Structure 1
Amino acid sequence: MPLKLNQLLSDVRESRKIKITVIVDTGICIGDSGTSGTPTDKMILRDGAERLVIPASTIKGRLRHECEIIARAKKYVICESPKAENMCPQLNSLSELERKQIETDDTGNCIVCQIFGSPKSPARVMFNDLICEDEFATEMRGGISINRRRRAVEDAKLFRLETSKHGAGIKFSGEIELPDRIHDEHRQLIISGLKRINTLGNRTSAGVGWLRIEYEEVGGRGKAEGERRKGELKTNSEIRNPKSEIRPEYQAVETSQLQIVVTLHSPLAVGGRKPAGRIVEIIPYIPGGLLRGAVAKELLELGAHDDNCNENECDFCTLFLSNEQAIFHNCYPFSGLSRRCRGDTEATNLLDNRTLVLPATAVSCEDNSGFLEYDKNGHPMVDDFNDSHGVFDTLINRLIAEEQLNENNDLPLLYAPNCPVCGGCVEPFQGFYSAVPSWEGLGVGGKYKSENIGTRILSRIPINRSRKVAEEDLLYHLSVLNHVTKSGADALLRNSQATAQTTPLVAKPSPKESPDEVGSGDSIGVFRTRLIGSVTVPKRLAKDLTEVLKHRIHNLGGGSARGLGRVKIDVIPEDNNPQSSTQSAVFKNRLDAFNRKIAEAERKFQALGKTTAIDGTYFTVDLHSDAILYDASGWQPTTILTAEMLQKATNCDAQVELLRSYARYTYCNGWNAAWGMLKETEVITQMGSVFVFKTKNIEAWYEPLRKLELYGIGERRGEGFGQLKICDEFHLRTRDEFIT
């Protein structure tokens, strides 16, 4: 019988690590080609905080090459990298005899692929970027090609190379993480490979990039290899179909909600759609399914589940396979942590300042879109020359206007809002937003701002093992979330909507800063990017899941073996028990405020002409994440939440009517590690969609709607789909009040 989570977690020790220090004896250049407007053809690589960096992919690729040389010298038969068809498990480049002689493990990988991974299996060893924490100047090196026949300078062959300063003794520091699945034979091969590395980067034959590597092994072992389950995620015959997710038996389980803060320590690769070309479309948040998969993988490696377990006694089954399973909500960007959160002590200040999704009914000026900006006294700067003219919601006024038309009134009035600043046209405004906290000395309380994450594009190229140059046709690009962001007084006072691009950085890193603060200036600093989300979990497992999130999850997303996706997760306990009277009162007040605003708008329209009073109580269902919806029969996918679907999802038969829907749709799939195959492609209703309902028996709907808000709607809710909010406060920010 599997162990309980608290027993497993109490027996886990710190994993082994190899701390690496690279001491550069000459100038070094590791980077991409220069861009137009720069005086160099090849620029040295820097991270988002402008620090010199040796990418984890560089050290991993070079170390793999050295380990391949050593393994062949030791008479191991290994695959031929870097082309996928020649690597494990295909081995197209090996003869039949060599394939029989190759020593593989149960995953079908040779000794090198067991360490560094293959197209089929992930790497067991995790590499981190090597960072130069000190500030060093760089220099330009010129070069020229020589015509071999004329023995003179070749025309149009002058080039410039940016390198670190020669003889400065620059040190780059990082680490390699060795999980318990790494045997001593693997460790010895890694150490031997490190000893062979004496150059890195470009133009090493011309004296650039010569270095020394010092290393230190730290950390203890966890459980012995034979005492734990192996780390591969095998197909479980008991895993249910995604369409049999959480059932609406909410009252059966006492739950807690854990608020989580994810801090990025390296760029994060979150896969998305690939519409065209070689670059995958980035998702500007962390999906709940990504966090859920990381937790499940870690628990399986700890031996928390097997195929013969009793589901009623297995904590893993409770968290992931039962009707009581945990719901991992999406994590959205949140800049309010920049200066206020220095750890867990002040993180509780953020419980009421979360990132929310703008509804589909939100609009902004077509020419100057974005939230208003403020002066130093906290007053909005509203003029024709300002970059942002504000954001407001159109739902309530549009709803009343259309309802009056439906009543066949002789009211020649169409609702067509315009910009309240310049009078221009408005257009839908999408994205995330949050409340601006009342920062000391700024007086900007009660305002709103956009929340965005900068993105970067990383280029990578495998190296041909025989020619030691770039392999043809294997260049690829990674679109990643930037792990640093700009913040400070200026960022709070100027909050226009930003496009998805790398945030410009103006401050150099300082070793005296807080670990959360990469660097700072007088009014602008560079801080680590943070995202905020939550997990709804059975109350008896809340403490154990907190331990897993805080102390066991260190990587998310793709490319973790190449230094991407390093994260730190903080957990803030928050009791959101469905039986909480406080939560019930807050929910009812929000719904009442929405209907008071509708009544106010109705009185304004009545002043314009003869109208008919509208009876009933209104409420909205606002999607704060993508939702996978099926019609009332449960078979046909749909993008509209109908009254019948709402009644079925809440187990409430009280009268309700769907009045309006503002919905967008797209498609999604994904990879299921447990099945080892792609997930089914689903039609999804996009986040921000709004559905307006009316009922004459609102008392019967209070509790069902409140529980629906806690648990979500639709399929695959455990992965973050179907998050919603009833009567989002943003709908109260009409054009008349002009949201700021």
Structure 2
Amino acid sequence: MKKIGVLVKNHSPILLKDQECSSGKILKTRRYIPGIYLREAITNQLLQGRSSLNRCFDQLFCDCHRWGMEIVFPNCYPNLNAYTFPMLLPATAKSCRWKPGFIEDSSVDEQHGVFDTLLNQIIFQQVLAFSIKSGRPSRSLTLIQDAYHRLIEQGTLYCNICHEVANAYQVEYAKPHGNFKQIPIRTYWQQPESALSSSHITAAAPFAHHRKQQQGRCIEFISERTWFLGFSFLPTSLVDLYKESLESITHLGEGSGQRIGRVEITVREIEDHELSLRQRVLKLNQKYHRMQKEYSLGRTDALITVNIQSETILRDQNGRPLTKLSSSFLAETIKRIYRQIAGEDLSAEEAACQEVVSFSRPVYTGGWKSSREATIAIARGSVFVFSFPSLSPKLFLALDHLEKHGLGEKRGEGYGQILICDPFHLEVGGVV
């Protein structure tokens, strides 16, 4: 398996219609390129008679059983340039209310910064549960007060510097040269002129003028020369076909015949210099156990976080959409994946997990004026935390496969991309 990067640069304004916000006279654009747009662009070229892509279509769309996986066309998110990697802050990230965001000037004395609150909230809940079970009220009260003040000092409720309220802060960011930096997305609005001038309105045509005004809409576009980047994992034998099919795309989005949506796509192999899944899991649990020792909790369980990187569609056994990832669903998924890749069953003890805490919200995908079915999905940035009694090599193997191939339905269209143990959860004290 190779990690492939899909780099998109638009040479003209681009409109990626947002089904949730398009109504009336306002048409907003998405801030990223959904994977379904890449799939549809390849299909449109086939319909236009490009026979050179027939071989690509058969192997990328019709031979999924041959590869044992669905070929993923990833969502491409805004990027600083062609050499950085976009990341999404989790739902547990906070920032100062009055001075939000990453501070670029390292010489500033009072750096409010952005920080993560996941581990602090977990420890506080464990201290609270321990105090309820404890038979020593004075000791329990001291622990609760200590944990509560620590929670405030670490910035879960208030900023460390100015002690103002810390609000949720969920944006895309990159780390050029090791420094955190928010990725901006430049958009602009275009308001079409009315087909009839007000000076030509007569008593005989007031309704025609009103109808013409209703047809014109304010449209939001993403500015030209914006970089987007997405990732996918592919078998080595498919890389060339994947590259050929995507690099043949010249237009994306709506209104390709109106001199908008011109793009240039580059597909390249990515050398992953970031921490491996095993290293991320171990670092998170080292920090977690070190914080536990401060309160003498004495727990030995291991934490695994599932960070949702794109809208994820999950359904139960009856086909009903799920709004959160449950421990039973995750355990069954891990056992099924390990059975596929290893040919043997994973024991119930190794896959057993319990839900610790979750930070998520549901969103609608598809819908109004869309050919795709409207359904409920889990929003980007959601975080689900599970505890495992132990971390076995078999569990790491299954989790690595799950992270590479995604979770839930329609993964080939960019849904269900996840990250196990986001490194940003280690930024308890804040980063600038």
Q: Secondary structure at 1:533's aligned position in 2?
A: strand
Q: 582, 597, 604: which is aligned to 2:287?
A: 597
Alpha-carbon spacing, 1:372–1:657, altered in 2? closer, same or farther (3 Å): same
Alignment of 1:134-283 (within 5 A): 255-272=1-18, 273-274=20-21, 276-283=23-30
- 1:588 and 2:245 equivalent? no
Q: Deviations over 1:174-229 (max 9, x none)?
A: xxxxxxxxxxxxxxxxxxxxxxxxxxxxxxxxxxxxxxxxxxxxxxxxxxxxxxxx
Q: Distance in 2 between matches of 1:683 and 1:592?
A: 33
Q: Secondary structure at 2:220's aligned position in 1?
A: strand
Q: Deviations over 1:524-547 (max 9, x none)?
A: xxxx21111123334322102212
Quick one: which amino acid aligns to residue 17 of structure 2? G
- Deviation of 1:297 (Å): 2.4
Q: 631, 644, 669: which is aligned to 2:328?
A: 644
- 1:630 and 2:315 equivalent? yes
Q: Name the counterpart of 2:36.
A: 289
Q: Name the counterpart of 1:395.
A: 118
Q: Deviations over 1:83-133 (max 9, x none)?
A: xxxxxxxxxxxxxxxxxxxxxxxxxxxxxxxxxxxxxxxxxxxxxxxxxxx
Quick one: which amino acid aligns to residue 556 of structure 1? L
- 1:478 and 2:219 equivalent? yes
Q: Secondary structure at 1:472's aligned position in 2?
A: helix
Q: 229, 234, 238: which is aligned to 1:537?
A: 234
Q: Distance in 2 between matches of 1:321 and 1:679?
A: 26
Q: Distance in 1 between matches of 2:60 and 2:104?
A: 49
Quick one: which amino acid aligns to residue 395 of structure 1? L
Q: Name the counterpart of 2:299.
A: 614
Q: Name the counterpart of 1:373.
A: 104
Q: Name the counterpart of 1:360.
A: 91
Q: Name the counterpart of 1:330.
A: 75
Q: Deviations over 1:665-711 (max 9, x none)?
A: 11111699xxxx62111111111000001111310411111111101
Q: Distance in 2 between matches of 1:315 and 1:447?
A: 38
Alpha-carbon spacing, 1:459–1:275, altered in 2? closer, same or farther (3 Å): closer
Q: Distance in 2 between matches of 1:702 and 1:724?
A: 15
Contact 1:434 1:451 in 2 (8 A): yes
Alpha-carbon spacing, 1:382–1:688, altered in 2? closer, same or farther (3 Å): farther
Contact 1:461 1:476 in 2 (8 A): no
Quick one: which amino acid aligns to residue 122 of structure 2? L
Quick one: which amino acid aligns to residue 286 of structure 1? I
Quick one: which amino acid aligns to residue 451 of structure 1? I
- 1:688 and 2:381 equivalent? yes
Structure 2 unaligned residues grouped into runs of 5+ = 135-139, 201-207, 337-345
Alpha-carbon spacing, 1:588–1:369, altered in 2? closer, same or farther (3 Å): same
Q: Distance in 1 between matches of 2:53 and 2:163?
A: 62
Quick one: which amino acid aligns to residue 37 of structure 2? L
Q: Distance in 1 between matches of 2:234 and 2:46?
A: 16
- Deviation of 1:549 (Å): 1.8
Q: Secondary structure at 2:26's aligned position in 1?
A: coil
Contact 1:324 1:538 in 2 (8 A): no
Contact 2:307 2:419 in 1 (8 A): yes
Asked which structure has the greater CA Rg, the reply is: 1
Q: Distance in 1 between matches of 2:66 and 2:255?
A: 27
Q: Name the counterpart of 1:177.
A: none
Quick one: which amino acid aligns to residue 454 of structure 1? R
Alignment of 1:556-575 (within 5 A): 556-574=252-270
Q: Distance in 2 between matches of 1:320 and 1:707?
A: 17
Contact 2:60 2:242 in 1 (8 A): no
Q: Distance in 2 between matches of 1:688 and 1:412?
A: 29
Q: Distance in 2 between matches of 1:725 and 1:357?
A: 10
Contact 1:336 1:436 in 2 (8 A): no
Alpha-carbon spacing, 1:314–1:534, altered in 2? closer, same or farther (3 Å): closer
Number of residues paired by the alignment? 386
Q: Distance in 1 between matches of 2:398 and 2:122?
A: 24
Alignment of 1:122-141 (within 5 A): none
Greater relative contact order (CA < 8 Å, ≥ 6 in sequence): 2
Q: Secondary structure at 2:304's aligned position in 1?
A: strand
Alignment of 1:303-314 (within 5 A): 303=51
Q: Distance in 2 between matches of 1:530 and 1:478?
A: 21
Q: Secondary structure at 1:536's aligned position in 2?
A: strand
Q: Distance in 1 between matches of 2:60 and 2:162?
A: 59
Q: Secondary structure at 1:460's aligned position in 2?
A: coil
Query: What percent of counterpart residues are identical?
Result: 29
Alpha-carbon spacing, 1:671–1:262, altered in 2? closer, same or farther (3 Å): farther
Alpha-carbon spacing, 1:314–1:596, altered in 2? closer, same or farther (3 Å): closer
Q: Name the counterpart of 1:451.
A: 183
Q: TM-score, normalised by structure 2?
A: 0.82
Q: Distance in 2 between matches of 1:461 and 1:271?
A: 21
Quick one: which amino acid aligns to residue 329 of structure 1? P
Q: Name the counterpart of 2:343.
A: none
Contact 2:324 2:360 in 1 (8 A): yes
Alignment of 1:497-512 (within 5 A): none
Q: Distance in 2 between matches of 1:616 and 1:690?
A: 19
Q: Secondary structure at 2:191's aligned position in 1?
A: strand
Structure 1 unaligned residues grouped into runs of 5+ = 1-254, 338-349, 438-445, 484-527, 577-581
Q: Secondary structure at 1:291's aligned position in 2?
A: helix
Q: Distance in 2 between matches of 1:716 and 1:701?
A: 24
Quick one: which amino acid aligns to residue 730 of structure 1? F
- 1:434 and 2:180 equivalent? no
Q: TM-score, normalised by structure 1?
A: 0.49
Quick one: which amino acid aligns to residue 686 of structure 1? A
Q: Distance in 2 between matches of 1:723 and 1:707?
A: 12
Quick one: which amino acid aligns to residue 392 of structure 1? F
- Deviation of 1:269 (Å): 0.3
Q: Name the counterpart of 2:404.
A: 710
Quick one: which amino acid aligns to residue 330 of structure 1? N
Q: Distance in 2 between matches of 1:435 and 1:619?
A: 24
Contact 1:372 1:382 in 2 (8 A): no
Quick one: which amino acid aligns to residue 169 of structure 2? F
Q: CA RMSD in A?
A: 2.9
Q: Distance in 2 between matches of 1:645 and 1:322?
A: 25
- Deviation of 1:397 (Å): 1.3
Alpha-carbon spacing, 1:571–1:436, altered in 2? closer, same or farther (3 Å): same
Q: Distance in 2 between matches of 1:477 and 1:707?
A: 44
- Deviation of 1:472 (Å): 2.3
Q: Distance in 2 between matches of 1:647 and 1:634?
A: 18
- Deviation of 1:716 (Å): 0.8
